[in-house]
Structure 1
Amino acid sequence: MDKLSIAGLLLALAAVFGGSTLKGSGAAALVSPAAFVIVIAGTIAAILVQTPGPTFRRALRMVRWVFRPPVLDWEDEIDAVVHWARRARQHGLLGLEPDLAGVVDPFTRRGLQMLVDGVEPAQIRAALDVELDTLEGRDAAAARVFEGMGTYAPTMGIIGAVMGLMAVMQNLADPDKLGAGIAAAFVATVYGIGLANLLFLPMAAKLKATIAGQSRARELMIEGLVAIADGEHPSSIHNRLQGFRVQR
Protein backbone atom coordinates (compact mmCIF):
# COMPACT_ATOMS: atom_id res chain seq x y z
CA MET A 1 0.00 0.00 0.00
CA ASP A 2 1.37 3.40 -1.02
CA LYS A 3 0.99 5.50 2.13
CA LEU A 4 2.06 8.69 0.37
CA SER A 5 -0.83 8.46 -2.11
CA ILE A 6 -3.34 7.91 0.67
CA ALA A 7 -1.86 10.74 2.74
CA GLY A 8 -1.91 13.04 -0.29
CA LEU A 9 -5.56 12.30 -1.01
CA LEU A 10 -6.59 12.86 2.59
CA LEU A 11 -4.57 16.07 2.77
CA ALA A 12 -6.21 17.30 -0.44
CA LEU A 13 -9.68 16.74 1.03
CA ALA A 14 -8.65 18.43 4.27
CA ALA A 15 -7.22 21.39 2.37
CA VAL A 16 -10.37 21.95 0.32
CA PHE A 17 -12.97 21.41 3.04
CA GLY A 18 -10.83 22.94 5.77
CA GLY A 19 -10.06 25.95 3.61
CA SER A 20 -13.73 26.42 2.85
CA THR A 21 -14.54 26.33 6.56
CA LEU A 22 -11.77 28.76 7.46
CA LYS A 23 -12.93 31.14 4.74
CA GLY A 24 -16.33 31.24 6.39
CA SER A 25 -18.40 29.51 3.72
CA GLY A 26 -18.43 26.16 5.52
CA ALA A 27 -17.90 22.65 4.21
CA ALA A 28 -21.60 22.34 3.33
CA ALA A 29 -21.17 25.05 0.70
CA LEU A 30 -19.06 22.62 -1.35
CA VAL A 31 -21.83 20.04 -1.57
CA SER A 32 -23.71 20.34 -4.85
CA PRO A 33 -25.11 17.20 -6.51
CA ALA A 34 -25.89 19.12 -9.71
CA ALA A 35 -22.33 20.45 -10.02
CA PHE A 36 -20.93 17.00 -9.25
CA VAL A 37 -23.04 15.40 -11.98
CA ILE A 38 -22.09 18.04 -14.55
CA VAL A 39 -18.34 17.81 -13.87
CA ILE A 40 -17.99 14.06 -13.36
CA ALA A 41 -20.45 12.93 -16.02
CA GLY A 42 -19.19 15.51 -18.49
CA THR A 43 -15.55 14.58 -17.92
CA ILE A 44 -16.26 10.87 -18.29
CA ALA A 45 -18.31 11.52 -21.43
CA ALA A 46 -15.48 13.50 -23.00
CA ILE A 47 -12.86 10.88 -22.19
CA LEU A 48 -15.07 8.10 -23.54
CA VAL A 49 -15.31 9.92 -26.86
CA GLN A 50 -11.52 10.36 -26.92
CA THR A 51 -10.39 6.92 -25.76
CA PRO A 52 -10.60 3.49 -27.45
CA GLY A 53 -12.40 0.86 -25.39
CA PRO A 54 -9.38 -1.37 -24.60
CA THR A 55 -7.34 1.65 -23.48
CA PHE A 56 -10.13 2.87 -21.19
CA ARG A 57 -10.55 -0.58 -19.64
CA ARG A 58 -6.80 -0.80 -19.13
CA ALA A 59 -6.86 2.63 -17.41
CA LEU A 60 -9.54 1.42 -15.00
CA ARG A 61 -7.48 -1.64 -14.11
CA MET A 62 -4.43 0.54 -13.51
CA VAL A 63 -6.17 2.79 -10.96
CA ARG A 64 -5.14 0.41 -8.18
CA TRP A 65 -1.50 1.12 -9.01
CA VAL A 66 -1.91 4.61 -7.54
CA PHE A 67 -2.48 3.11 -4.09
CA ARG A 68 -0.90 -0.33 -4.53
CA PRO A 69 1.82 -0.09 -7.21
CA PRO A 70 3.52 -3.25 -8.48
CA VAL A 71 6.44 -4.20 -6.28
CA LEU A 72 9.79 -4.06 -8.07
CA ASP A 73 12.48 -5.87 -6.10
CA TRP A 74 15.65 -5.13 -8.02
CA GLU A 75 17.82 -7.43 -5.92
CA ASP A 76 15.47 -10.37 -6.53
CA GLU A 77 15.47 -9.67 -10.27
CA ILE A 78 19.27 -9.54 -10.40
CA ASP A 79 19.61 -12.65 -8.22
CA ALA A 80 17.25 -14.57 -10.53
CA VAL A 81 19.26 -13.66 -13.62
CA VAL A 82 22.57 -14.55 -11.95
CA HIS A 83 21.07 -17.86 -10.81
CA TRP A 84 20.06 -18.65 -14.39
CA ALA A 85 23.51 -17.66 -15.63
CA ARG A 86 25.18 -20.06 -13.20
CA ARG A 87 22.74 -22.83 -14.04
CA ALA A 88 23.26 -22.33 -17.78
CA ARG A 89 27.04 -22.38 -17.24
CA GLN A 90 26.83 -25.69 -15.40
CA HIS A 91 24.05 -27.51 -17.29
CA GLY A 92 23.70 -25.62 -20.57
CA LEU A 93 20.74 -23.54 -21.73
CA LEU A 94 18.44 -26.57 -21.69
CA GLY A 95 19.14 -26.81 -17.97
CA LEU A 96 17.01 -23.67 -17.51
CA GLU A 97 13.84 -25.43 -18.65
CA PRO A 98 12.78 -26.51 -15.12
CA ASP A 99 12.89 -22.85 -14.04
CA LEU A 100 10.22 -21.83 -16.55
CA ALA A 101 7.38 -23.12 -14.39
CA GLY A 102 8.38 -20.82 -11.52
CA VAL A 103 8.44 -17.62 -13.58
CA VAL A 104 5.20 -15.66 -13.11
CA ASP A 105 5.87 -12.60 -15.26
CA PRO A 106 4.87 -13.35 -18.89
CA PHE A 107 7.57 -11.05 -20.30
CA THR A 108 10.34 -12.78 -18.36
CA ARG A 109 8.96 -16.23 -19.08
CA ARG A 110 8.88 -15.54 -22.82
CA GLY A 111 12.48 -14.36 -22.77
CA LEU A 112 13.61 -17.34 -20.72
CA GLN A 113 11.77 -19.67 -23.11
CA MET A 114 13.64 -18.17 -26.07
CA LEU A 115 16.87 -18.69 -24.15
CA VAL A 116 16.03 -22.35 -23.57
CA ASP A 117 15.10 -22.74 -27.24
CA GLY A 118 18.57 -21.56 -28.25
CA VAL A 119 17.46 -18.38 -30.00
CA GLU A 120 20.36 -16.11 -31.01
CA PRO A 121 21.13 -13.24 -28.58
CA ALA A 122 20.38 -10.55 -31.18
CA GLN A 123 17.01 -12.12 -31.92
CA ILE A 124 16.16 -12.36 -28.23
CA ARG A 125 16.95 -8.68 -27.78
CA ALA A 126 14.99 -7.67 -30.87
CA ALA A 127 11.90 -9.67 -29.88
CA LEU A 128 11.90 -8.46 -26.28
CA ASP A 129 12.56 -4.85 -27.29
CA VAL A 130 9.46 -4.93 -29.51
CA GLU A 131 7.37 -6.40 -26.70
CA LEU A 132 8.75 -3.86 -24.24
CA ASP A 133 7.79 -0.98 -26.54
CA THR A 134 4.32 -2.46 -27.00
CA LEU A 135 3.69 -2.91 -23.27
CA GLU A 136 5.07 0.53 -22.44
CA GLY A 137 2.98 2.17 -25.16
CA ARG A 138 -0.18 0.40 -24.00
CA ASP A 139 0.25 1.44 -20.37
CA ALA A 140 1.33 5.00 -21.26
CA ALA A 141 -1.83 5.42 -23.36
CA ALA A 142 -3.88 4.26 -20.36
CA ALA A 143 -2.12 6.77 -18.09
CA ARG A 144 -2.95 9.53 -20.56
CA VAL A 145 -6.63 8.81 -19.93
CA PHE A 146 -6.26 10.50 -16.55
CA GLU A 147 -4.27 13.32 -18.11
CA GLY A 148 -7.20 13.86 -20.45
CA MET A 149 -9.62 13.87 -17.53
CA GLY A 150 -7.42 16.46 -15.86
CA THR A 151 -7.74 18.59 -18.99
CA TYR A 152 -11.50 18.25 -19.42
CA ALA A 153 -12.57 18.56 -15.76
CA PRO A 154 -11.80 22.32 -15.39
CA THR A 155 -13.67 23.06 -18.62
CA MET A 156 -16.66 21.08 -17.38
CA GLY A 157 -16.42 23.07 -14.16
CA ILE A 158 -16.69 26.31 -16.13
CA ILE A 159 -19.67 24.93 -18.03
CA GLY A 160 -21.31 24.04 -14.72
CA ALA A 161 -20.62 27.54 -13.38
CA VAL A 162 -22.14 29.15 -16.47
CA MET A 163 -25.21 26.94 -16.20
CA GLY A 164 -25.53 27.90 -12.55
CA LEU A 165 -25.27 31.59 -13.39
CA MET A 166 -27.93 31.14 -16.03
CA ALA A 167 -30.22 29.79 -13.33
CA VAL A 168 -29.33 32.77 -11.12
CA MET A 169 -30.19 35.19 -13.90
CA GLN A 170 -33.67 33.74 -14.03
CA ASN A 171 -34.17 34.80 -10.41
CA LEU A 172 -32.97 38.40 -10.64
CA ALA A 173 -36.36 39.54 -9.38
CA ASP A 174 -35.64 37.85 -6.05
CA PRO A 175 -32.46 39.44 -4.58
CA ASP A 176 -32.51 37.11 -1.56
CA LYS A 177 -31.60 34.18 -3.80
CA LEU A 178 -28.81 35.85 -5.73
CA GLY A 179 -25.96 35.39 -3.21
CA ALA A 180 -26.58 31.72 -2.55
CA GLY A 181 -27.23 31.07 -6.24
CA ILE A 182 -23.96 32.65 -7.37
CA ALA A 183 -22.02 30.78 -4.68
CA ALA A 184 -23.58 27.49 -5.74
CA ALA A 185 -22.76 28.23 -9.38
CA PHE A 186 -19.05 28.46 -8.66
CA VAL A 187 -18.99 25.14 -6.81
CA ALA A 188 -18.79 23.43 -10.20
CA THR A 189 -15.58 25.36 -10.94
CA VAL A 190 -14.12 24.21 -7.62
CA TYR A 191 -15.02 20.62 -8.49
CA GLY A 192 -13.47 20.82 -11.94
CA ILE A 193 -10.22 22.50 -10.96
CA GLY A 194 -9.93 20.54 -7.72
CA LEU A 195 -10.45 17.14 -9.30
CA ALA A 196 -8.04 17.96 -12.12
CA ASN A 197 -5.19 19.21 -9.96
CA LEU A 198 -5.68 17.15 -6.82
CA LEU A 199 -6.68 13.82 -8.35
CA PHE A 200 -6.57 13.23 -12.12
CA LEU A 201 -3.25 14.86 -13.02
CA PRO A 202 -1.39 13.48 -9.97
CA MET A 203 -2.79 10.03 -10.77
CA ALA A 204 -1.47 10.30 -14.32
CA ALA A 205 1.97 11.34 -13.07
CA LYS A 206 2.07 8.50 -10.52
CA LEU A 207 1.10 5.94 -13.15
CA LYS A 208 3.75 7.23 -15.56
CA ALA A 209 6.39 6.84 -12.85
CA THR A 210 5.21 3.29 -12.18
CA ILE A 211 5.29 2.46 -15.90
CA ALA A 212 8.82 3.85 -16.17
CA GLY A 213 9.92 1.63 -13.28
CA GLN A 214 8.39 -1.45 -14.89
CA SER A 215 10.07 -0.67 -18.20
CA ARG A 216 13.40 -0.29 -16.43
CA ALA A 217 12.93 -3.69 -14.78
CA ARG A 218 12.17 -5.25 -18.17
CA GLU A 219 15.28 -3.62 -19.63
CA LEU A 220 17.25 -5.26 -16.83
CA MET A 221 15.77 -8.62 -17.76
CA ILE A 222 16.59 -8.13 -21.44
CA GLU A 223 20.22 -7.29 -20.64
CA GLY A 224 20.51 -10.28 -18.33
CA LEU A 225 18.98 -12.82 -20.68
CA VAL A 226 21.03 -11.61 -23.64
CA ALA A 227 24.19 -11.76 -21.52
CA ILE A 228 23.36 -15.37 -20.59
CA ALA A 229 22.81 -16.18 -24.27
CA ASP A 230 26.21 -14.63 -25.03
CA GLY A 231 27.81 -16.91 -22.44
CA GLU A 232 29.03 -14.15 -20.13
CA HIS A 233 30.34 -15.06 -16.70
CA PRO A 234 27.72 -14.78 -13.89
CA SER A 235 29.92 -12.37 -11.95
CA SER A 236 30.19 -10.09 -14.97
CA ILE A 237 26.43 -10.20 -15.44
CA HIS A 238 25.88 -9.39 -11.77
CA ASN A 239 28.19 -6.37 -11.93
CA ARG A 240 26.51 -5.06 -15.06
CA LEU A 241 22.97 -5.41 -13.71
CA GLN A 242 23.85 -3.60 -10.49
CA GLY A 243 23.59 -0.39 -12.50
CA PHE A 244 19.83 -0.91 -12.75
CA ARG A 245 19.29 -0.89 -8.99
CA VAL A 246 17.17 1.89 -7.55
CA GLN A 247 19.03 3.70 -4.82
CA ARG A 248 16.86 3.90 -1.71
Structure 2
Amino acid sequence: MDKSSIGGVFLAIAGIVAGLLMEGGKISQVLQPTAALIVFGGTFGAVLLQFPMSAVLGAFGRILRIFSAPGKQQDDLLVKQLVGFANKARRSGVVSLDADLETIQDAFLKQAVMLAVDGTEPADLRRIMQVSLDSYAENEDRFPAVFESAGGFSPTIGILGAVLGLIQVMQHLDQIEEVGRGIAVAFVATIYGVGIANLIFLPMAGKMRIRLRDDVKRREMMLEGVISILEGMNPRMLEVKLAGFLDDRRLKKQERAA
Protein backbone atom coordinates (compact mmCIF):
# COMPACT_ATOMS: atom_id res chain seq x y z
CA MET A 1 0.00 0.00 0.00
CA ASP A 2 1.09 3.57 -0.69
CA LYS A 3 1.70 5.12 2.74
CA SER A 4 1.66 8.61 1.27
CA SER A 5 -1.87 8.30 -0.15
CA ILE A 6 -3.32 6.57 2.90
CA GLY A 7 -1.61 8.94 5.33
CA GLY A 8 -2.71 11.95 3.32
CA VAL A 9 -6.38 10.96 3.48
CA PHE A 10 -6.33 10.34 7.22
CA LEU A 11 -4.33 13.48 7.93
CA ALA A 12 -6.69 15.68 5.92
CA ILE A 13 -9.82 14.26 7.54
CA ALA A 14 -8.32 14.25 11.04
CA GLY A 15 -7.13 17.86 10.70
CA ILE A 16 -10.52 19.15 9.61
CA VAL A 17 -12.46 17.16 12.21
CA ALA A 18 -10.05 18.17 14.96
CA GLY A 19 -10.33 21.83 14.00
CA LEU A 20 -14.12 21.60 14.03
CA LEU A 21 -14.20 20.00 17.47
CA MET A 22 -11.66 22.47 18.90
CA GLU A 23 -13.96 25.31 17.89
CA GLY A 24 -16.80 23.69 19.81
CA GLY A 25 -18.57 22.33 16.77
CA LYS A 26 -20.12 18.93 16.22
CA ILE A 27 -19.69 16.49 13.36
CA SER A 28 -23.47 16.28 13.01
CA GLN A 29 -23.47 19.96 12.02
CA VAL A 30 -21.78 19.20 8.71
CA LEU A 31 -23.73 16.03 7.95
CA GLN A 32 -26.44 17.55 5.78
CA PRO A 33 -27.96 15.01 3.36
CA THR A 34 -29.60 17.78 1.33
CA ALA A 35 -26.29 19.53 0.74
CA ALA A 36 -24.58 16.22 -0.08
CA LEU A 37 -27.30 15.36 -2.60
CA ILE A 38 -26.95 18.72 -4.33
CA VAL A 39 -23.15 18.67 -4.52
CA PHE A 40 -22.49 15.01 -5.30
CA GLY A 41 -25.49 14.60 -7.59
CA GLY A 42 -24.77 17.80 -9.49
CA THR A 43 -21.05 17.08 -9.79
CA PHE A 44 -21.40 13.54 -11.08
CA GLY A 45 -24.18 14.59 -13.41
CA ALA A 46 -21.93 17.24 -14.95
CA VAL A 47 -19.06 14.74 -15.24
CA LEU A 48 -21.30 12.23 -17.01
CA LEU A 49 -22.37 14.94 -19.41
CA GLN A 50 -18.75 15.77 -20.27
CA PHE A 51 -17.27 12.25 -20.43
CA PRO A 52 -18.55 8.96 -21.85
CA MET A 53 -19.64 6.33 -19.35
CA SER A 54 -16.63 4.14 -20.16
CA ALA A 55 -14.21 6.89 -19.14
CA VAL A 56 -16.06 7.58 -15.87
CA LEU A 57 -16.21 3.90 -14.94
CA GLY A 58 -12.57 3.46 -15.91
CA ALA A 59 -11.56 6.38 -13.71
CA PHE A 60 -13.32 4.95 -10.67
CA GLY A 61 -11.90 1.53 -11.48
CA ARG A 62 -8.39 2.95 -11.15
CA ILE A 63 -8.89 4.46 -7.70
CA LEU A 64 -7.26 1.47 -6.03
CA ARG A 65 -4.05 2.20 -7.96
CA ILE A 66 -3.78 5.47 -6.04
CA PHE A 67 -3.43 3.55 -2.78
CA SER A 68 -1.03 0.90 -4.11
CA ALA A 69 2.70 1.47 -3.91
CA PRO A 70 4.65 1.68 -7.20
CA GLY A 71 6.19 -1.61 -8.30
CA LYS A 72 9.84 -0.72 -7.72
CA GLN A 73 10.86 -4.37 -7.47
CA GLN A 74 9.08 -5.02 -10.75
CA ASP A 75 11.23 -2.37 -12.42
CA ASP A 76 14.37 -4.06 -11.11
CA LEU A 77 13.13 -7.41 -12.38
CA LEU A 78 12.35 -5.83 -15.73
CA VAL A 79 15.92 -4.56 -16.04
CA LYS A 80 17.25 -8.03 -15.20
CA GLN A 81 14.91 -9.57 -17.77
CA LEU A 82 16.06 -7.22 -20.52
CA VAL A 83 19.73 -7.77 -19.64
CA GLY A 84 19.06 -11.51 -19.76
CA PHE A 85 17.55 -11.11 -23.23
CA ALA A 86 20.62 -9.12 -24.27
CA ASN A 87 22.96 -11.87 -23.09
CA LYS A 88 20.97 -14.53 -24.92
CA ALA A 89 20.74 -12.46 -28.10
CA ARG A 90 24.49 -11.86 -28.03
CA ARG A 91 25.19 -15.58 -27.75
CA SER A 92 22.53 -17.02 -30.05
CA GLY A 93 21.14 -14.09 -32.01
CA VAL A 94 17.96 -12.05 -31.64
CA VAL A 95 15.91 -14.84 -33.26
CA SER A 96 16.60 -17.02 -30.20
CA LEU A 97 14.32 -14.72 -28.16
CA ASP A 98 11.36 -16.26 -29.97
CA ALA A 99 11.40 -19.04 -27.37
CA ASP A 100 10.97 -16.47 -24.58
CA LEU A 101 7.87 -14.77 -26.00
CA GLU A 102 5.51 -17.02 -24.05
CA THR A 103 7.19 -16.05 -20.78
CA ILE A 104 6.70 -12.30 -21.30
CA GLN A 105 3.66 -11.07 -19.37
CA ASP A 106 3.61 -7.43 -20.47
CA ALA A 107 1.84 -7.02 -23.81
CA PHE A 108 3.89 -3.95 -24.83
CA LEU A 109 7.21 -5.71 -24.21
CA LYS A 110 5.99 -8.86 -25.90
CA GLN A 111 5.01 -6.94 -29.04
CA ALA A 112 8.36 -5.14 -29.15
CA VAL A 113 10.35 -8.39 -28.77
CA MET A 114 8.16 -10.05 -31.40
CA LEU A 115 8.93 -7.28 -33.89
CA ALA A 116 12.63 -7.58 -33.08
CA VAL A 117 12.57 -11.34 -33.63
CA ASP A 118 10.81 -10.81 -36.97
CA GLY A 119 13.75 -8.74 -38.16
CA THR A 120 12.27 -5.24 -37.91
CA GLU A 121 14.81 -2.45 -38.26
CA PRO A 122 15.47 -0.46 -35.05
CA ALA A 123 14.14 2.79 -36.53
CA ASP A 124 10.96 1.11 -37.77
CA LEU A 125 10.48 -0.70 -34.47
CA ARG A 126 10.77 2.59 -32.59
CA ARG A 127 8.18 4.27 -34.83
CA ILE A 128 5.73 1.39 -34.52
CA MET A 129 6.00 1.08 -30.74
CA GLN A 130 6.00 4.84 -30.24
CA VAL A 131 2.56 4.96 -31.86
CA SER A 132 1.38 2.31 -29.40
CA LEU A 133 2.95 4.20 -26.49
CA ASP A 134 1.38 7.53 -27.50
CA SER A 135 -2.02 5.88 -27.92
CA TYR A 136 -1.75 4.29 -24.47
CA ALA A 137 -0.80 7.60 -22.83
CA GLU A 138 -3.64 9.43 -24.56
CA ASN A 139 -6.24 6.84 -23.58
CA GLU A 140 -5.08 6.68 -19.96
CA ASP A 141 -4.98 10.47 -19.69
CA ARG A 142 -8.79 10.54 -19.81
CA PHE A 143 -9.09 9.02 -16.35
CA PRO A 144 -7.32 11.69 -14.29
CA ALA A 145 -9.12 14.26 -16.45
CA VAL A 146 -12.42 12.90 -15.08
CA PHE A 147 -11.41 13.76 -11.51
CA GLU A 148 -9.93 17.09 -12.56
CA SER A 149 -13.27 18.02 -14.09
CA ALA A 150 -15.10 16.84 -10.97
CA GLY A 151 -12.76 19.02 -8.92
CA GLY A 152 -13.66 21.98 -11.10
CA PHE A 153 -17.40 21.39 -11.01
CA SER A 154 -17.92 20.62 -7.33
CA PRO A 155 -17.08 24.09 -5.87
CA THR A 156 -19.47 25.70 -8.33
CA ILE A 157 -22.16 23.15 -7.49
CA GLY A 158 -21.50 23.93 -3.83
CA ILE A 159 -22.16 27.60 -4.49
CA LEU A 160 -25.35 26.58 -6.29
CA GLY A 161 -26.39 24.67 -3.18
CA ALA A 162 -25.63 27.72 -1.07
CA VAL A 163 -27.83 29.89 -3.26
CA LEU A 164 -30.65 27.36 -3.05
CA GLY A 165 -30.32 27.40 0.71
CA LEU A 166 -30.47 31.17 0.83
CA ILE A 167 -33.57 31.12 -1.38
CA GLN A 168 -35.25 28.94 1.22
CA VAL A 169 -34.14 31.33 3.92
CA MET A 170 -35.68 34.30 2.13
CA GLN A 171 -38.97 32.44 1.74
CA HIS A 172 -39.25 31.62 5.45
CA LEU A 173 -38.01 34.71 7.21
CA ASP A 174 -41.00 34.48 9.55
CA GLN A 175 -40.00 30.98 10.68
CA ILE A 176 -36.77 30.97 12.66
CA GLU A 177 -36.29 27.18 12.47
CA GLU A 178 -36.57 27.18 8.69
CA VAL A 179 -34.15 30.10 8.47
CA GLY A 180 -31.55 28.22 10.49
CA ARG A 181 -31.97 25.06 8.43
CA GLY A 182 -31.60 26.97 5.16
CA ILE A 183 -28.44 28.72 6.32
CA ALA A 184 -26.97 25.39 7.44
CA VAL A 185 -27.61 23.81 4.05
CA ALA A 186 -26.13 26.86 2.34
CA PHE A 187 -22.84 26.78 4.24
CA VAL A 188 -22.49 22.99 4.31
CA ALA A 189 -23.05 22.74 0.55
CA THR A 190 -20.15 25.15 0.02
CA ILE A 191 -17.98 23.11 2.40
CA TYR A 192 -18.82 19.90 0.55
CA GLY A 193 -18.09 21.41 -2.84
CA VAL A 194 -14.75 22.96 -1.89
CA GLY A 195 -13.78 20.06 0.36
CA ILE A 196 -14.23 17.18 -2.06
CA ALA A 197 -12.56 19.19 -4.83
CA ASN A 198 -9.39 20.01 -2.88
CA LEU A 199 -9.19 16.97 -0.61
CA ILE A 200 -10.36 14.20 -2.93
CA PHE A 201 -10.85 14.88 -6.64
CA LEU A 202 -7.83 17.06 -7.47
CA PRO A 203 -5.31 15.11 -5.34
CA MET A 204 -6.56 11.85 -6.85
CA ALA A 205 -6.15 13.26 -10.35
CA GLY A 206 -2.60 14.36 -9.51
CA LYS A 207 -1.63 10.94 -8.14
CA MET A 208 -3.16 9.24 -11.19
CA ARG A 209 -1.00 11.39 -13.47
CA ILE A 210 2.08 10.39 -11.48
CA ARG A 211 1.14 6.72 -11.88
CA LEU A 212 0.59 7.30 -15.61
CA ARG A 213 4.01 8.92 -16.00
CA ASP A 214 5.57 5.94 -14.20
CA ASP A 215 3.82 3.53 -16.57
CA VAL A 216 4.91 5.50 -19.64
CA LYS A 217 8.50 5.65 -18.35
CA ARG A 218 8.45 1.89 -17.77
CA ARG A 219 7.31 1.30 -21.34
CA GLU A 220 9.94 3.67 -22.65
CA MET A 221 12.50 1.62 -20.75
CA MET A 222 11.17 -1.54 -22.40
CA LEU A 223 11.38 0.07 -25.84
CA GLU A 224 14.90 1.34 -25.33
CA GLY A 225 15.97 -2.05 -24.01
CA VAL A 226 14.61 -3.98 -27.00
CA ILE A 227 16.06 -1.52 -29.52
CA SER A 228 19.45 -1.65 -27.80
CA ILE A 229 19.36 -5.45 -27.93
CA LEU A 230 18.48 -5.28 -31.63
CA GLU A 231 21.43 -2.92 -32.18
CA GLY A 232 23.77 -5.35 -30.42
CA MET A 233 24.57 -3.26 -27.34
CA ASN A 234 26.79 -4.87 -24.71
CA PRO A 235 24.61 -6.26 -21.86
CA ARG A 236 26.58 -4.35 -19.22
CA MET A 237 26.17 -1.11 -21.14
CA LEU A 238 22.49 -1.90 -21.52
CA GLU A 239 22.11 -2.33 -17.76
CA VAL A 240 23.74 1.05 -17.16
CA LYS A 241 21.51 2.65 -19.80
CA LEU A 242 18.33 1.21 -18.32
CA ALA A 243 19.38 2.28 -14.83
CA GLY A 244 18.90 5.84 -16.04
CA PHE A 245 15.14 5.21 -16.06
CA LEU A 246 15.13 4.29 -12.37
CA ASP A 247 14.82 6.81 -9.56
CA ASP A 248 17.78 8.23 -7.62
CA ARG A 249 17.23 6.08 -4.55
CA ARG A 250 17.61 2.85 -6.49
CA LEU A 251 20.62 4.23 -8.36
CA LYS A 252 22.36 4.98 -5.06
CA LYS A 253 21.48 1.50 -3.84
CA GLN A 254 23.06 -0.01 -6.95
CA GLU A 255 26.18 2.13 -6.49
CA ARG A 256 26.58 0.94 -2.90
CA ALA A 257 26.13 -2.68 -4.01
CA ALA A 258 28.81 -2.23 -6.69
How many Å apart are 1:69 and its aligned residue? 4.9
Which residue does the alignment assign to 1:201?
202
Which residue does the alignment assign to 1:131?
132
Which residue does the alignment assign to 2:255?
none
Alignment of 1:97-246 (within 5 A): 97-246=98-247
Q: Answer yes or no: is the 8 Å Cα contact 1:43–1:152 preserved in 2.
A: yes
Q: Answer yes or no: is the 8 Å Cα contact 1:69–1:210 preserved in 2.
A: no
Q: What is the alpha-carbon distance in structure 2 between the residues aligned to residue 79 and residue 192 of structure 1? A: 48
Matching residue's letter, 1:173: D
Q: Answer yes or no: is the 8 Å Cα contact 1:55–1:138 preserved in 2.
A: no
Q: What is the alpha-carbon distance in structure 2 between the residues aligned to residue 42 and residue 61 of structure 1? A: 21
Matching residue's letter, 1:233: N
Q: Deviations over 1:16-52 (max 9, x none)?
A: 2222222223111010111111111111110111112
Q: What is the alpha-carbon distance in structure 2 between the residues aligned to residue 70 and residue 101 of structure 1? A: 25
How many Å apart are 1:176 and its aligned residue? 4.5
Q: Secondary structure at the match of 1:244?
A: coil
- Structure 1 unaligned segments of length 5 or more: list them: none
Which residue does the alignment assign to 1:67?
67
How many residues align? The count is: 248
Q: What is the alpha-carbon distance in structure 1 between the residues aligned to residue 49 and residue 7 of structure 2? A: 33
Which residue does the alignment assign to 2:95?
94
Q: Normalized against structure 1, the TM-score is what?
A: 0.95
Q: Normalized against structure 2, the TM-score is what?
A: 0.91
Identify the range of structure 1 (78-87 vs 12-21) with the bigger mean alpha-carbon deviation.
12-21
Q: Answer yes or no: is the 8 Å Cα contact 1:168–1:182 preserved in 2.
A: yes
Q: What is the alpha-carbon distance in structure 2 between the residues aligned to residue 60 and residue 70 of structure 1? A: 19
How many Å apart are 1:177 and its aligned residue? 4.0
Identify the range of structure 1 (54-63 vs 214-223) with the bigger mean alpha-carbon deviation.
54-63
Q: What is the alpha-carbon distance in structure 2 between the residues aligned to residue 223 and residue 185 of structure 1? A: 56
Q: Answer yes or no: is the 8 Å Cα contact 1:30–1:187 preserved in 2.
A: yes
Which residue does the alignment assign to 2:81?
80
Q: Answer yes or no: is the 8 Å Cα contact 2:39–2:154 preserved in 1.
A: yes
Q: Answer yes or no: is the 8 Å Cα contact 2:34–2:185 preserved in 1.
A: no
Matching residue's letter, 1:56: V
Matching residue's letter, 1:243: G
How many Å apart are 1:74 and its aligned residue? 2.7
- Structure 2 unaligned segments of length 5 or more: list them: 250-258
Q: What is the alpha-carbon distance in structure 1 between the residues aligned to residue 23 and residue 150 of structure 2? A: 28
Matching residue's letter, 2:91: Q
How many Å apart are 1:164 and its aligned residue? 1.2
Which residue does the alignment assign to 1:39?
39
Which residue does the alignment assign to 2:25?
25
How many Å apart are 1:241 and its aligned residue? 1.3
Q: What is the alpha-carbon distance in structure 2 between the residues aligned to residue 165 and residue 69 of structure 1? A: 45
Identify the range of structure 1 (40-49 vs 52-61) with the bigger mean alpha-carbon deviation.
52-61
How many Å apart are 1:180 and its aligned residue? 4.3
Q: Secondary structure at the match of 2:244?
A: helix
Q: Which runs of 4+ in 1 moved over 3 A?
A: none
Q: What is the alpha-carbon distance in structure 2 between the residues aligned to residue 137 and residue 147 of structure 1? A: 16
Q: Deviations over 1:115-156 (max 9, x none)?
A: 121111111111111111111111112111100000001011
How many Å apart are 1:169 and its aligned residue? 1.6
Q: Secondary structure at the match of 2:248?
A: coil
How many Å apart are 1:112 and its aligned residue? 1.2
